[in-house]
């Protein structure tokens, strides 16, 4: 059978692999999207022609104290330093001087960021112009109560933000494997919320029935009926943010679009663009999915690689086979992720997660759960083999070895294939 040759990113190199053309039913790629050519004009146009609110110049007024919420260093790919100066200039033009503006870095339950990371995130110019401070979810003195959601979660957010005259949320919108989509309301929760509030919300990712593992509603691309998202929306509404500026990116991680205006309506419009770019229709799930994160840094460790595996899993038939190319030079990092593979059973892992929910713990559980449902083969460095087995997966040293294992697992020749050469970002959507 004639073959189609594909290149799969692997660390700083590529692995070339020929696959039988007649078996390929889907080639999942992000939609080409023209990058923004004039950033300043585009951002200003979004701020002056927003969705669901008056222009920013009419939302703020002279004398206001304005809080701008910015994601932490784990979201440096949003490149806040490129558009925050434009936002500050627009606020200045509306009569709000720099001395009346402050930035709160929103790490959620992540570690606090350093002053050097403030500069990486916001840029030297912004750090000179306005005060930049961390939110600390563990410091009760810095929190204020905003109310209780219908599901019973007590909501605490950053006191300085709550006391500001106006609050502007910033961020980037991508698919999120728990909350459906990132961006928008995530600047409030987990961004500037208290630790117990974050824990209360994140527990919605667990099945309501103990022993049944994860909540099937809390998955990538799903908003309606996603209990975690719906609780986030309630909490954001209680915080009453006044304006939002969020970015959407091309598959090459260039700015594709800015949405601005109402914290929910503008963000929701942005999620539809993300779906248009990255939500790739597939004709059917395949017996074999061959995928890659796209190389370094997306395959630097298994923690970063879970999103790739999750997306590839969505394209596979139940009981099928998934091959992922991941170099994983730092496979044991971070420790708060790799340490979760110590539990002897899935139930023990689940109970530990319910008692002390963490994102690394959730991702470890999700990975183990996927490995129970499909044969998950990881092409990686040979020294990673032991940990790959510990995590419930099958190690392979080469693409050819992985294909041999896959064919053995499938046990027949009439199998179908889906190829995902950008699986970290592309989400397969069944027609």
pLDDT per position as a tens digit, 178-201: 999 999 999 999 999 999 999 999
Cα separation, 353 vs 330, in Å, equals 24
Q: What confidence score (pLDDT) does residue 161 get?
A: 98
Residue 319: enclosing H or E segment and its boundaries? strand 316-325
- Provide the pLDDT confidence category of residue 369 given band limits of 50, 70 and 90: very high
Cα separation, 302 vs 412, in Å, equals 30
In a domain, 266, yes or no: no
In a domain, 269, yes or no: no
Which token pair is 115?
């002053």
Cα separation, 63 vs 55, in Å, equals 18
In a domain, 111, yes or no: yes
pLDDT tens digits, one per residue of 109-137: 888 999 999 999 999 999 999 999 999 99
Judge whether 414 and 311 are in contact, CB under 8 Å.
Answer: no
pLDDT of 233 over the 90 cut: yes
Q: How many domains does the chain have?
A: 2
pLDDT of 384 over the 90 cut: yes
Specify the CATH number for the domain of residue 410.
3.90.226.30
In a domain, 402, yes or no: yes
- Provide the pLDDT confidence category of residue 160 given band limits of 50, 70 and 90: very high
Asked if 63 and 168 sit in the same domain, the reply is yes
In a domain, 311, yes or no: yes
Residues marked as catalytic: 110, 176
Asked if 341 and 289 sit in the same domain, the reply is yes
Mean pLDDT of the chain: 95
pLDDT tens digits, one per residue of 84-105: 999 999 999 999 999 999 999 9
In a domain, 259, yes or no: no
Which token pair is 239?
């915080």
- Provide the pLDDT confidence category of residue 341 given band limits of 50, 70 and 90: very high
Q: What confidence score (pLDDT) does residue 74 get?
A: 81
Contacts 24+ apart (CB under 8 A), 307-311: 307/177, 307/424, 308/423, 308/424, 309/367, 309/370, 309/376, 310/177, 310/220, 310/366, 310/370, 311/220, 311/420, 311/423, 311/424, 311/426, 311/427, 311/428
pLDDT of 1 over the 80 cut: no
Give the percent of the chain with pLDDT over 90: 91
């Amino acid at each position: 059978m004639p073959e189609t040759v594909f290149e799969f990113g692997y660390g700083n190199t590529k692995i070339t692999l020929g696959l039988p053309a007649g078996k390929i039913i889907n080639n999942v790629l992000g939609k080409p999207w023209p990058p923004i050519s004039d950033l300043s004009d585009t951002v200003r146009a979004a701020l002056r022609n927003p969705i669901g609110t008056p222009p920013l110049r009419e939302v703020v007024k002279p004398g206001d104290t304005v809080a701008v919420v910015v994601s932490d260093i784990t979201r440096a790919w949003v490149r806040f330093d490129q558009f925050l100066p434009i936002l500050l200039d627009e606020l200045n033009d509306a009569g709000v001087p720099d001395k009346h503006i402050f930035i709160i870095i929103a790490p959620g339950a992540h570690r606090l960021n350093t002053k050097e990371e403030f500069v990486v995130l916001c840029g030297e110019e912004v750090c000179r112009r306005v005060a930049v401070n961390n939110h600390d979810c563990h410091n009760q003195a810095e929190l204020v109560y905003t109310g209780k959601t219908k599901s019973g979660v007590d909501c605490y957010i950053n006191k300085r933000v709550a006391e500001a005259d106006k609050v502007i949320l910033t961020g980037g919108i991508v698919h999120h494997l728990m909350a459906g989509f990132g961006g928008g309301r995530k600047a409030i929760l987990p961004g500037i919320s208290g630790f117990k509030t974050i824990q209360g919300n994140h527990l919605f990712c667990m099945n309501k029935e103990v022993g049944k593992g994860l909540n099937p509603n809390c998955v990538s691309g799903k908003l309606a009926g996603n209990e975690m998202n719906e609780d986030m929306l309630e909490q954001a509404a209680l915080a009453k943010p006044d304006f939002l500026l969020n970015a959407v990116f091309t598959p090459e991680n260039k700015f594709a679009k800015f949405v601005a205006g109402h914290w929910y309506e503008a963000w929701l419009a942005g999620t539809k663009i993300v779906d248009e770019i990255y939500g790739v229709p597939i004709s059917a799930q395949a017996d074999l999915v061959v995928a890659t994160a796209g190389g370094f840094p997306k395959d630097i460790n298994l923690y970063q690689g879970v999103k790739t595996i999750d997306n590839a899993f969505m394209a596979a038939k139940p009981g099928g086979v998934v091959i992922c190319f991941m170099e994983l030079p730092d496979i044991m990092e971070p420790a708060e992720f790799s340490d979760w593979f110590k539990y002897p059973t899935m139930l023990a892992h689940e109970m530990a997660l319910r008692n002390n929910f963490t994102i690394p713990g959730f991702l470890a559980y999700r990975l183990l759960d996927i490995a129970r449902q499909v044969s998950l083969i990881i092409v990686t460095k040979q020294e990673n083999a032991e940990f790959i087995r510990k995590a419930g997966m099958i190690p392979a040293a080469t693409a050819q070895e992985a294909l041999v294992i896959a064919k053995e697992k499938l046990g027949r020749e009439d199998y179908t294939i889906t190829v995902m050469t950008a699986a970290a970002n592309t989400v397969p959507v069944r027609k």
